Amino acid sequence: MRTPVGIVGAGPAGLMLSHLLHRQGIDSVIVETRTRDAIEATIRAGVLEQGTVDLMVATGVGERLQREGFPHHGFELRVDGVGHRIDLHGLTGGRHVTVYPQHEVLKDLIAARLADGARIVFGASDVSLHDVEAAPKIRFTDAEGRSQVLDCDLVAGCDGSHGICRQAIPESVRREYLRIYPFGWFGILAEAPPSAEELIYARSERGFALISTRSPTVQRMYFQCDPNDRVDNWSDDRIWSELQARVKGDGFALREGAIFQKGIIPMRSFVCEPMQHGRLFIAGDAAHTVPPTGAKGLNLAVADVVVLARAVADLIQRNDAAGVEAYSATAVRRVWRAQHFSWWFTAMMHRFDEVGPFDARRQRAELDMILQSPTAARLLAENYVGQPLT
């Protein structure tokens, strides 16, 4: 098999890249370890920036998103039981975010790619990269057990934080920046009506909680937990009482319901630089991870591949290598901006057990600044809605 662009991973980065390349007349093949059913059933992100939504609409994959997504013009910052609205629309000159689950984005992209005749190899195993400096190859075993070799002009590593592509950048040139947080998020899905019209980011003495939504009948909620805790330690009753304790105040209470999914998510900030080596380009979670507090991960993956798709088109169609040569430097600027924001919002909203009383008071003063100063609130709002895509 041969393709101009071999893509490893059918997540938001890989699928969107393949879609954008196709719109510019460039063929690609995606090699993915999971099955289509597994991908379309995995619950992850929920918040799309305006730039992501606009891109999906402009490139013909936003029809269901426009119909079924929920625009959110603000969110609540709840501090020690008192709610304060962050007016995203007012603070950013009319911008907002849209709640539309990641797996729905993936369903739309997969359907569009297959309708356009794309080759997506689902259920591959033993995926490996070879000769990325000169003549890249992706080797894998397909779902029928046959060994395959895919010769490519370029390879896009879009295989997420646990993928293999990053390791193909030699250690001598690869620099990794990592921060591990001393907590994780316990996430649930529950069959319940929404408790509020907008998302709630809550800071309390007991720690952080996030009240998000998936639909009028399914709600997504998280609370800060010990990253080494076990899901079995948490009965439904215990989960609800912990969540209620973290948001209670001014008469507010969550509407409870049957919990049908539970999981613990570790929290880390990570960047790998450079995001390219030879003919390999890494994008999305393969190159960087943000803690989910700022809701940036999926949006950053999309922003990376917008830069990459344009650069690849310039190279293949105009023999202009300037874009691909600058890919890492271009993409990483936005990545670090989002890293800073995600770290800042995380640091402000979570309980850090190991910090002393000075830092606890300083953290509260920082939140007070957001609540009292429109200038400070605008900084939060502008970063949350995200920078426009270039």
Catalytic residue among 19, 22, 277, 296: 296
269 alpha carbon, distance to own chain's centre? 12
Minimal distance, residue 43 CB to ligand PHB, in Å: 8
Give the shortest CB-304-to-ligand PHB separation in angstroms.
Answer: 19
Residue 239 contact among ligand PHB, ligand RFL, none, beta carbon within 5 to 8 Å by kind: none
The nearer residue to ligand RFL, 102 or 204, going by C-beta atoms, is: 102
| 345 secondary structure, DSSP code | H
CA 387 – CA 331 distance, rounded (Å): 13
In the complex, minimum distance from the CB of residue 41 to ligand PHB, in angstroms, rounded to a whole number: 15
Residue 292 annotated to the active site: yes
8 Å CB contact between 349 and 293? yes
Using the contact rule CB under 6 A, the part of the chain among 43-51, 162-170, 231-239, 246-254 near ligand PHB is 43-51
Q: Using CA atoms, how far apart are residues 314 and 159, in angstroms rounded to an integer?
A: 24
Write out the binding residues for ligand PHB, residues 288-317 only, by CB under 6 A.
292-293, 295
Positions in the binding site for ligand RFL (CB under 6 A): 8-14, 31-34, 39, 44-47, 102, 124, 127, 158-160, 163-164, 187, 265, 284-286, 292, 295-299, 301
* Binding track over 324-363 against ligand PHB, x by CB under 6 A: ----------------------------------------
CB of residue 382 to ligand PHB, shortest distance in Å: 16
- Mention every residue, 6+ apart, whose C-beta is less than 8 A from residue 378: 91, 92
248 included as an active-site residue: no
Number of residues interacting with ligand PHB: please give it, by CB under 6 A.
10
- Marked catalytic residue, from 12, 101, 194, 292: 292
For residues 165 and 156, give the distance between their C-alpha atoms in angstroms, rounded to a whole number.
8
Choose the catalytic residue: 22, 72, 277, 288.
Answer: 72
- Given 100, 181, 222, 384, the catalytic residue: 384
Interatomic CA distance for residues 134 and 12, integer angstroms: 27
b/e code 319-357 from CB counts within 10 Å (16+ = b): eeeebbeebbebbbebbeebbebbbbbbbbbbbeeeeee
318: Cβ contacts below 8 Å, ≥ 6 apart:
none
284 φ, ψ (degrees, to nearest 5): 70, -150
* The entry of ligand RFL, ligand PHB, none that residue 1 binds, CB within 5 to 8 Å by partner kind: none
Tell me the C-alpha distance between 96 and 73, whole Å.
5
Give me the numbers of helices (H) and strands (E) for the chain, helices first please: 12, 19
Closest CB 201 distance from ligand RFL, rounded Å: 12
Tokens 């009383």, located at residue: 357
Q: Looking only at residues 216 through 255 of this chain, which bind ligand PHB when binding is defined by CB under 6 A?
A: 220
* Segment 272 to 291, residues that bind ligand PHB, using CB under 6 A: none
Report the partner that residue 158 touches, choosing among ligand PHB, ligand RFL, none (CB closer than 5 to 8 A by kind).
ligand RFL
Cα 294–69–386 angle (5° rounding)?
A: 30
Q: Which of 181, 201, 222, 327 is catalytic?
A: 201
Closest CB to ligand PHB among 23 and 344? 344
Give the orientation angle of helix 50-58 with respect to helix 297-318, to 10 degrees. Answer: 40
Maximal CA-CA distance, the chain: 64
Contact partner, 285, from ligand RFL, ligand PHB, none, Cβ < 5-8 Å per class: ligand RFL
Residue nearest to ligand PHB according to CB distances in the complex: 46
Which sequence positions are flagged as catalytic? Answer: 72, 201, 292, 296, 384
Point out which residues bind ligand PHB (CB under 6 A): 45-47, 199, 210, 212, 220, 292-293, 295
